[in-house]
A and B are shown apart, each in its own frame.
Chain A
């Protein structure tokens, strides 16, 4: 894949992740912290088609722009911490242990570590580790559910894109 084409594809993927990130903010949540993690679909797609470095860039750009566009800059810290940690874990699982994981498993692990990243930052900001323990159970249970369906969705998208002639890629 030539350089310009790759850049355009990554820009498209980033903008899609951004839109998902923002739409997600409009969906009411049952408890603070629980969200669908739709933007994670695009992270997984980037991992599958481009590679780890590119996925990390997509996550960082999406987090920064998403926080600026949703109007809460404090959210940036949480979003970045969760996004980067989740991307590291998913990249590691995808490139080292892919044979042992389904997309749902990788996505769920990513969702769990997204929460852990956010909670660690929250604990640091509020200066108490209690916040981590209090939210961990409910967020982890939510992550198992949302992670499964996000993994399923990204699995189908990757399967579809692989069959498209216009979407020519090289695995990273």
Chain B
């Protein structure tokens, strides 16, 4: 019989249940911080610092040492990210102010420092609904 439920069907449903469990466990394992935004500080194109941004986080200050006494101080809070202080000649990075959204960046050319806000797939996701 084509329509009668058979033993194999139960295996399919068992597989479905296992997959749901695996998915939920995977989501849990990725943790609460795994899906949010994060700040990445790059010096000379190399990542020197990164931290997650989440609600209720304590403000974080990070000092980028670009060598020869050159520095930038990055201030990260839940609301915004900015370069608070720097001893570069043009002060463009300080004057450019705060960034808030995924994809934004502050650049300090003299010190070759880049501060970016990166997102998880949820923020950068541009999946075409038709595609799925």
Residues of A within 8 A of B (CB): 25, 29, 32-35, 70, 72, 74-75, 77-79, 93, 97, 99-105, 108-109, 112, 116, 118, 122, 126, 128-137, 140-141, 143-144, 152, 155, 158-159
Contacts and interface: CB of A to CB of B under 8 A. Distances in A.
A140 to B, nearest CB: 5
9 contacts: A32-B127, A101-B8, A112-B16, A122-B127, A131-B121, A133-B30, A136-B20, A155-B2, A159-B2
B3 A141 contact: no
Given A32-B132, A72-B130, A78-B131, A100 B13 contact: no
Contacts of A109: 12, 15
Contacts of A78: 131-132
A140 B34 CA distance: 22
A130 B121 contact: yes
A49 B108 CA distance: 66
Interface of B: 1-9, 11-13, 15-16, 19-20, 22-27, 29-30, 34-35, 120-122, 124-125, 127-132
A29 B129 contact: yes
A98 B125 CA distance: 40
Contact of A102 (B6, B128, B131): B6
B19 A140 contact: yes
Chain B binding surface, main DSSP class: helix
Nearest to B128: A72
A102 B5 contact: yes
Contacts of B121: 126, 128, 130-131
Given A97-B8, A102-B9, A70 B130 contact: yes
Nearest to A48: B2
B37 to A, nearest CB: 14
Contacts of A35: 132
B4 to A, nearest CB: 6
A115 B128 CA distance: 15
Contacts of B129: 29, 32
